Structure 1
Amino acid sequence: MSDPTYPPLDTPKPVARDIWVVDGPVIRFYKLPFSTRATILRLENGDIWLHSPTRWSPELQGRIAALGPIRHLIAPNWIHYAHIADWQKALPQAQVWAAPGVAARAASHGVDIRIDHDLTQDAPPGWAGQIDQMIVEGSRVHHEAVFFHRASQTLILTDLIENFEPAKLPWWFRPLARLGGVSEPGAMPRDMRASFAGHRDRLRAQVQRMIGWAPERVILAHGRWYRENGAAELRRAFAWLLD
């Protein structure tokens, strides 16, 4: 049976110094099976910054806490907040940082999340100089916070690029991924592209800024992430916009 996930699951896997990924179990989005992924950064003061947390468990919390105290929980867009409430319940002292749209979406779904800080175009003092950030704007519905970890030259995206490997998908999902534009080697979903209609110049400038960060790696929440040639992968994935 096809398995869209990336075992081993629920365990931090090193990417470079002070950065790890956690691959989580399958989630269902509009009944489609998605792999999902969290990113862990250890800040210079030793604090742990947890981006788009996957499913909480005491075992996973313990494995991450072994890397440092978990101080920051990041909800990077209006969809990727699903597990924040469970992590917040387990770690009430951790600060929750949320992108535009998260609070309204959570409230509309009856999810009780305490949002401590809004993510903005500028990195806060807690990680300024270590992690660059930007809110990608211009879509009618999708506002995503993207991050660049300077020390490891790693760009952290969530849904702006998805990269599903056909061999890991159920046979019936493969044509849907291809039609959606998210089959390997990966790109922005076609429905998301359409949501930027009338604001492509703004999106283009934001993508060019990401390329200007010169990432070596690009971590994605869904599908295979890019371990090398990150800036080139961005140029390829957004060729429809940049050409």
Structure 2
Amino acid sequence: MSHWEQLADDVALLQFPQRAFGIDFRRNVTLLRLRDGRLVIHSTAPFGPEDVQAIGRFGQPAWMVDVTLMHDTFAKAGRTAFPGLPYLAPAGFSKASGLATEPLSLAPNEWAGEIDLIAIDGLRFVGEHALFHRASGTLVLGDLLFHFAPETTRGWPRFFVRHLMRLPRMVGISAFFRFLIRDKELFAASLQQLLEYDFQRIVVGHREPIRHHAKAALQEAMRARDLSG
């Protein structure tokens, strides 16, 4: 079973192992609960029976969402665990995953006033989006930001993050993601749009959520990549 953490009254985080380059980057799955109890399952993972049961206890699964083309790794496992749910994903995800999905270009009407969908413009290939859960002040991202806890990231993982991902503070926009920027002005404008939301925390796609001073962390990430304008 995954590691479970409730971040707010209507937000829960499940973390699953996901190894690459000899490092466990972890796959974060965020559950966003609407007022009527329905759940948005943000990102897919190798859900086991206990995970499915735990998710069902938290709320009624209603949508499965992947917000970047880079997150197709566990798409089939997610679909197997939740075969009847609408599966929302960026254009091109169906081809990458081999699964039928619905377009993520417009948020479902049922999310109105509770969850905002924000497209991250100026990128090539990935179709990155963000979700903002209004009641909890939670911003949920795909691969836009990474955050590694300095106190628990040692040895090779620490070297990789600081010197290959180019994140000396263990948080920010990775060097790999920077290569995906097609139009710097459009990308920076999208990040400025994110800053207009009143978020208290950020859940990233991998490793640790940013629990405190989240807006400052995003602003610093923008400054580090010369995106502040």
* Residue type at the aligned position of 1:177: V
Distance 1:166 1:190 in 2: 18
Tell me whether 1:209 sits opposite 2:200 in the alignment: no
Asked whether the equivalents of residues 150 and 170 of structure 2 are also in contact (C-alpha less than 8 Å), the reply is: no
Tell me whether 1:236 sits opposite 2:220 in the alignment: yes
Deviation at 1:140, TM superposition (A): 2.1
Distance 1:48 1:67 in 2: 8
Deviation at 1:241, TM superposition (A): 1.0
The 5 Å alignment of 1:60-139 reads 60-106=51-97, 112-115=98-101, 117-120=102-105, 122-139=106-123
Distance 1:205 1:135 in 2: 11
Stretches of structure 1 lacking an aligned partner (at least 5 in a row): 1-8, 107-111
Deviation at 1:12, TM superposition (A): 3.4
Asked whether the equivalents of residues 162 and 188 of structure 1 are also in contact (C-alpha less than 8 Å), the reply is: yes
Q: Normalization by structure 2: what TM-score?
A: 0.90
Q: Normalization by structure 1: what TM-score?
A: 0.85
Deviation at 1:59, TM superposition (A): 0.6
Tell me whether 1:19 sits opposite 2:4 in the alignment: no
User: Structure 1 29/11 Cα, relative in aligned 2: closer, same or farther at 3 Å?
Assistant: closer
Deviation at 1:167, TM superposition (A): 4.8
* Residue type at the aligned position of 2:180: S
Question: What RMSD over aligned residues (CA atoms) do the two structures have, in Å?
Answer: 1.9
Deviation at 1:53, TM superposition (A): 2.5
Asked whether the equivalents of residues 73 and 97 of structure 1 are also in contact (C-alpha less than 8 Å), the reply is: yes
Asked whether the equivalents of residues 30 and 42 of structure 2 are also in contact (C-alpha less than 8 Å), the reply is: yes
Distance 1:172 1:232 in 2: 28
Deviation at 1:224, TM superposition (A): 2.0
The number of equivalent residue pairs is 226
Q: Secondary structure at the match of 2:146?
A: coil
Distance 1:76 1:169 in 2: 26
Q: Secondary structure at the match of 1:195?
A: coil
Deviation at 1:143, TM superposition (A): 1.8
User: Structure 1 151/67 Cα, relative in aligned 2: closer, same or farther at 3 Å?
Assistant: same
Asked whether the equivalents of residues 73 and 84 of structure 1 are also in contact (C-alpha less than 8 Å), the reply is: no
Deviation at 1:166, TM superposition (A): 4.7
* Residue type at the aligned position of 2:15: D
Asked whether the equivalents of residues 142 and 192 of structure 1 are also in contact (C-alpha less than 8 Å), the reply is: no
Percent identity of paired positions between Structure 1 and Structure 2 = 25
Deviation at 1:11, TM superposition (A): 4.4
Q: Which residue of 1 aligns with 2:26?
A: 35
Asked whether the equivalents of residues 11 and 63 of structure 1 are also in contact (C-alpha less than 8 Å), the reply is: no
